Amino acid sequence: MSTPADTIDMRELDRLHHLHAFTDSKAMQQDGGTRVITKAEGVYVWDSEGNRFLDGMAGLWCVSLGYGRKELIEAAQQQLSQLPYYNTFFNCSPEVTIRLAAKLAEQTPEGITQFFFCNSGSEANDSIIKLVRLYWNLMRQPRKKMFIARHYAYHGVTVATASISGLTDMHPQWDLPLPNFVSHVDAPYWYKHGGDLTPDEFGIQCARALENRILELGPETVAAFIGEPVYGAGGVMVPPPTYWPEVVRICQKYDVLLCADEVVCGFGRTGQWFGSQTFGIKPDFMTMGKGLSSGYMPISAVGVHERIAKVLREKAGEIVHGFTYSGHPVAAAVALRNLQIIEEENLVKRVREDIGPYFQQKLGGLLDHPLVGEVRGIGLLGAVEIVKDKRTRETWGPEIRAAFKVRGHCFANSIIMRAARDCLYASPPLVISKTEVDELLGTFRQCLDLTARDLGVSDFRKDA
């Protein structure tokens, strides 16, 4: 058990030696330093001061089976004792990596038959960029180099994947995006940008924006379109039902490869194995990660359609690309066992027919709160849009940071949700119970109440 002195020591060591991801280090130190997380079980994590938090974000969208699953720990231990490491370079494959690839072929959309393994979603999307460029070179269409992505999209943090990401805050520090590499088009973010259009009308409009951009750039220069079936970090925007079928049609019409970023949506999160199956997407490439191992080991993968893989096999010769830990046997063993448990416990069906609808019902109940302009979600993905004026959809603005005030109250009241712009997100483990959903969203409503008081929203209970 940690003591207060241990926490002070850890925070000081952290200050001296740890450069955090996505963190303002100066502001963190002014607020007292890092939160030291020491243990976890089920849907809960504990910090070094003994505080317990219901993890409404499953870590970073990834701990699908919850914390402390002995089966995954045992799978790692067994593989460590048998083959702790070998690579996938130079005509070699760990047996368990082969078995994982074969298992993925059973679950991915029709035609996705081959898999290249990486360690993170960023690496997987970076690999897609290279494979797309290679494919068009082999097809003797070397001018096809341009990627089209969407505003608000998140595809990773490498130089290339941060460039195709449409979250503009990610660009200035690094002098991104890369020039002559990516073009961004409208997001299917109806609440923010739909105006007087119906969601279906807006979905068609956003898809046609892709078509217009292809024609503007010239189809002979456009290599691929990449998109998340449902947005993750950019806002959990669920596209109108008209959107993806039209995008599929447009990509096929202009011979543009369709890349589905399934890093967040994959492995049951939307109520199907993959978001592409939920929305009828027909990907040529797809990336997956996070829920692939429930976050217990770093692993990701690129799924490749057979018609693309055939060209790569027959024409590419040696593919000069790979990572030291591509298809790492321990990560592969954990991922394989993770997928088996998802099947054994019928978790995809549970998300689709039981806990997902319950979560969405409870999430929808927040719409009566005066700070809530919209709730949206599917399966075990959800977002709440924080507004100043429900009628006009006016937000509180970046100087107020209302969503971050809500998040602060969430931590203070022992739940973890994520804030960005004017939104709060939730993506709990697939094994969360209905009682735990009630705890998460009931406490979240209390945090909305506390924020309303902070912002001077008077008589908010009556207004609701």
Residues 248 and 261 in one domain: yes
Q: Quick check: 463 pLDDT over 80?
A: no
Q: Quick check: 460 pLDDT over 80?
A: no
What is the per-residue pLDDT across 254-305, written as a single tens digit (0 to 9) for each? 999 999 999 999 999 999 999 999 999 999 999 999 999 999 999 999 999 9
**CB proximity list for 345: less than 8 A, separation 6 or greater:** 431
Residues 51 and 93 in one domain: no
Q: Which CATH number fits the domain that encloses residue 431?
A: 3.90.1150.10
Residue 49: per-residue pLDDT: 93
Residues 230 and 104 in one domain: yes
163 in a domain, yes or no?
yes
Residues 328 and 434 in one domain: no
Provide the residue type at 279 as one letter. Answer: F
21 in a domain, yes or no?
no
Q: What is the pTM of this model?
A: 0.94
Q: How far apart are CA 234 and CA 224, in angstroms?
A: 20
Taking residues 127-147, what's their average pLDDT?
98
Pairing of strands 146-150, 44-47: unpaired
Q: Which carries the bigger pLDDT value, residue 463 or residue 257?
A: 257
Residues 201 and 327 in one domain: yes
Residue with tokens 């994590």: 45
Given 294, 322, 344, which residue is the final one in a domain? Answer: 344
Q: Quick check: 464 pLDDT over 60?
A: no
Residues 63 and 80 in one domain: no
Residues 98 and 84 in one domain: yes
Domain residue limits at 57: 35-68+354-463
User: Any bridge partners for residue 112, and if so which?
Assistant: 305
Where helices occur in 139-218 by DSSP H, the ranges are 159-164, 190-193, 199-217
Taking residues 423-445, what's their average pLDDT?
98
Residues 210 and 279 in one domain: yes
Q: Which CATH number fits the domain that encloses residue 318?
A: 3.40.640.10
Cis peptide before 177 (omega within 30 of 0): yes
Q: Quick check: 462 pLDDT over 50?
A: no
Residue 5: per-residue pLDDT: 74
Q: How far apart are CA 116 and CA 88, in angstroms?
A: 10
Cβ proximity of 304 and 287 under 8 Å: no
Q: Quick check: 1 pLDDT over 70?
A: no
Residues 78 and 45 in one domain: no
Residues 176 and 299 in one domain: yes
- Listed in order, strand segments (DSSP E) in 43-145 are 44-47, 52-55, 112-118
7 in a domain, yes or no?
no
Residue 459: per-residue pLDDT: 53
Taking residues 203-217, what's their average pLDDT?
98
Q: How many domains does the chain have?
A: 2
Half-sphere exposure of 284 (CA within 13 A, CB side): 24
Q: Average pLDDT of the chain?
A: 96
219 in a domain, yes or no?
yes
Residue 2: per-residue pLDDT: 66
Cβ proximity of 209 and 411 under 8 Å: no
Residue 3: per-residue pLDDT: 73
Tokens of 225: 């379109």
What is the per-residue pLDDT across 105-135, written as a single tens digit (0 to 9) for each? 999 999 999 999 999 999 999 999 999 999 9
